[in-house]
Amino acid sequence: MNFETSYPPAVFCIIATEFCERFSFCGLRTILSIYIRNELLFSENCATVIYHVFIMVCYIVPLAGAICADSIMGRYSTILYFSLIYLIGNILMCMGAIPVIEMSSITLSAVGLFLISVGTGGIKPCVAAFGGDQFRLPAQKDLLQHFFSLFYFTINLGGFVGMILTPILRKWVSCFGDDTCYALGFGFPAALMVLSLLVFIMGKPWYRLKTPKENVMLQFFKCTVYALAKRCKSRDSRFKRKHWLSLARDKYNGKLIQDIKVVFAILFLYIPLPIFWSLFDQQGSRWTFQASHMDGNVLGVQIVPDQMQVVNPAMVLVLIPIFDKLINPCFLKMHVMENALHRMAVGGLFASAAFLSAGVLELILETTYPKQPQEKHASINIINTLACDVKVHNPFNAVQEIESSGLHKFENIVCDNYTKYTLLVEASEKCGTIYFGRHRHNLEISAVELQTDTVLIGINIENKIQAYITDPVDYEKSLSGKPRLRVAYIKSSIHLHDVTVSLKNQAGLRDVYFVHSSNSSFLADSAYMELPQGVYDCVVASKEIPILYEESFNLDLGGVYSLVIRERNMKIEFFKLYVMSAPNTINILWLLPQYFLISVAEILFGVSGLEFSFTQAPKSMKTVTIAGWYLSVAVGNFLVILITQANFFKSQAQEFFLFAVVMIADMMVFIEMASNYKFVQLEADSSTNFAIPEQIPLVQNSP
């Protein structure tokens, strides 16, 4: 067997280990936010913060793992011990999801998540570097480049399978009296970590193990601090023309100084990288929200918004072999994108194009969104449930006539915080078969800034016209894409008890809303309910009358509905479904162009970045540079939190366009920085060729 054209056997154990670890991590991450909200009972905002803090820690800890690998234990031992921490965290998460265990689920889950973040963060920078250690360079340089493509393919394959299978296990298996089984959802990733550990340990006889001979990181920091201090104290103009690290030559050996120069040159190039990750990681947030505004029906199959997240790893799995075997070799023959930095820059531009695509799509989607009140303004909906037309005398347009069962919206009325308005509602003395005891009603309503209130015009128990104010309208579509429905029930009879509004779809799913029986309140208003799409049979019933009223209606994806029911004299006189937010009409497949662009960007940027981090770093500090790479991901996640919380734009499309422009500017800076970088030449066993000083990449000019 020719070792120059064959992968070292140890590589396959490392790749199998990475597959199991990514399966475990991505599977757990997919159901984590739902578990925090539904089982640990945190609010959605708190669950979101906890989730992003967890992800950030996962990408900060790699620095600690790098220090352990390069200075203390070596890569094999670091991966082994951090994997054990990882496994313990998985077990605690599984225990926290078992209700029969008499320990706080929140405590077990918190400790488990912390240990998982430490475990996955600790091994993250080591696995790729450890895989690279198995190759003999420069003889196997081409194989090493293919390895990083294969390694990235494995990451996405493990994540793709985990993201699909783990939610299925959680949803379709019942345990401990619940209709879901988070214990299995977390237990299966734990089993995958056990398998990952076994495979990794089994490969030890084939591994090329390298144990640190000295504490390189300690020497790194000491030399850096010494050189900086000397530079700050020195007034000699000759020193200003030298690289600042060269000032440490009187105390530290030349090879260490050159290694540190290389590392700082690489880390310097990482400065613009967080912007890319701030765009890339929005697939799980902003792009998912965008998908919730779209129609998920594809050839009779319903695609929910969070399922679109698997499109990226699926595309990457398909595109990596195409780039590795076809596109990259063609570019090399054409002398285009010949090195990793070229590919990273082009990848960044593809990410910008993805957000331009997202922005254009969002502009189209915004035409389907309901009009929300602007700052210093509010809106009022008025629904007429009477059998005759009514006139509303108001300060907005003098007199507004509303037909029977009609809805009129007074949009963007002036409101400073909250402002009181008086409206006069007037009907004819005879309304259908009803003779009013009072056919005029003065309504005082407090308009609240940025809020839409709804007024229902009806009749009270004394046959007098009456207005009822419901809870504010929430136009937001559900994240899952399911229709949202609330029920407003006006009652005038005190002789009906245990009134229910039942909804049953064709699949047999049944939801029941219980109308409160207080004698002092004649309006019952429910919270919004998320229901599956489809046709529903609605039945209004009471203890005295099994079927007061029945009717069928359809709920479409993305729609927000208000069901208004008015009862009088133990009969349902009014029943109508109102559309508050129109259902989704633009098909979810229009997201595919931006997912394709971001997938191409990930291959060019991610694979090339890992390759660059390993091949250009000194052999004693390779893990540190990869840790710096992952740290840029953590900073990118932090930038997402800052930018989205700042809420600079009211239009999501404008925010997408801002990200696209910032990414282009960021890549222009990166290209300028990369143009001054000189690539390290490789010798046997991945050593750098320090016999050629001009080939050492520097942040500043070499002495």
**pLDDT tens digit string along 567-616?**
998 999 999 999 999 999 999 999 999 999 999 999 999 888 878 887 88
Give the confidence band of 417 by pLDDT, cuts at 50, 70, 90. Answer: confident
pLDDT of residue 356: 97
pTM for the model stands at 0.76
**Euclidean distance between CA atoms 269 and 671, whole angstroms:** 10
Amino acid at position 5, single letter: T
> 45 pLDDT exceeds 80?
no
* Amino acid 244: pLDDT: 77
Domain 372-473: assigned CATH number:
2.60.40.2890
CATH fold for the domain made of 476-583: Immunoglobulin-like (2.60.40)
Average pLDDT over residues 633-638: 83
**CB atoms inside a 10 Å sphere around CB 529:** 16
Give whole-number Cα distances, 385 to 149, 388, 430, 488, 552, in Å: 65, 9, 15, 12, 19
Per-residue pLDDT, 423:
94
- Higher-pLDDT residue of 165 and 551 is 551
**Residue 242: pLDDT above 50?**
yes
**What value does the mean pLDDT take over residues 120-124?**
86
- Which of residues 410 and 638 earns the better pLDDT score? 410
- CB neighbours of residue 5 within 10 Å: 10
Contacts of 261 (CB under 8 A, 6+ apart): 243, 245, 696, 697, 698, 699, 702
Per-residue model confidence (pLDDT) at position 692: 35
* Average pLDDT over all residues of the chain: 84
Could you list the beta-strand ranges (E) of 587-702: none
pLDDT tens readout for residues 463-488: 899 999 998 988 888 766 789 999 99
Between CA 369 and CA 363 the distance in angstroms is: 10
The total of other beta-carbon atoms located within 10 Å of residue 694's CB is 7
Q: Edge-to-edge, what's the strand order for the sheet holding 390-394?
A: 398-402, 390-394, 418-427, 440-448
CATH (residue range 1-213): 1.20.1250.20
Is-contact 8 1, C-beta < 8 A? no
| pLDDT given at position 576 | 97
pLDDT for res 252: 82
Q: Is 545 exposed, middle or buried (0-12, 13-18, 19+ CB in 10 A)?
A: middle
Structural tokens at position 28: 């757990």
pLDDT value of position 321: 86
| CA atoms of 97 and 117, how far apart (whole Å) | 18
- Residue 41 pLDDT exceeds 80: no
- Is 282 a residue whose pLDDT tops 90? no
Residue 63, pLDDT score = 82
Amino acid at 374: Q
Residue keyed to tokens 């019952």: 524
Mean pLDDT in residue range 683-701: 40
For the chain, which residues make up each domain, given as ranges?
Answer: 1-213, 253-368+585-703, 372-473, 476-583
pLDDT exceeding 90 applies to what percent of the chain?
Answer: 31
pLDDT-derived band of residue 213, with 50, 70 and 90 as boundaries?
low
Q: Are 253-368+585-703 and 372-473 equal in CATH topology?
A: no
- How many angstroms separate the Cα of 525 from the Cα of each of 456, 487, 515, 516? 11, 6, 8, 9
Are 564 and 578 within 8 A, CB to CB? yes
pLDDT reading at 214 higher than 80: no
User: What's the number of CA atoms in the CB half-sphere (13 Å) around residue 639?
Assistant: 19
Q: How confident is the model at residue 698 (pLDDT cuts 50, 70, 90)?
A: very low
Is residue 693 over pLDDT 60? no
- With cut-offs at 50, 70 and 90, classify the pLDDT of residue 681: low
Top mean pLDDT of 257-261, 369-373, 392-396, 530-534 is at: 392-396
The pLDDT of 36-60, averaged and rounded, is: 77
Reported as type and span, the H/E element at residue 224 is helix 216-233
* For residues 59-77, average pLDDT: 83
> Is domain 253-368+585-703 annotated with CATH 1.20.1250.20?
yes
Mean pLDDT (whole number) for 209-221: 74
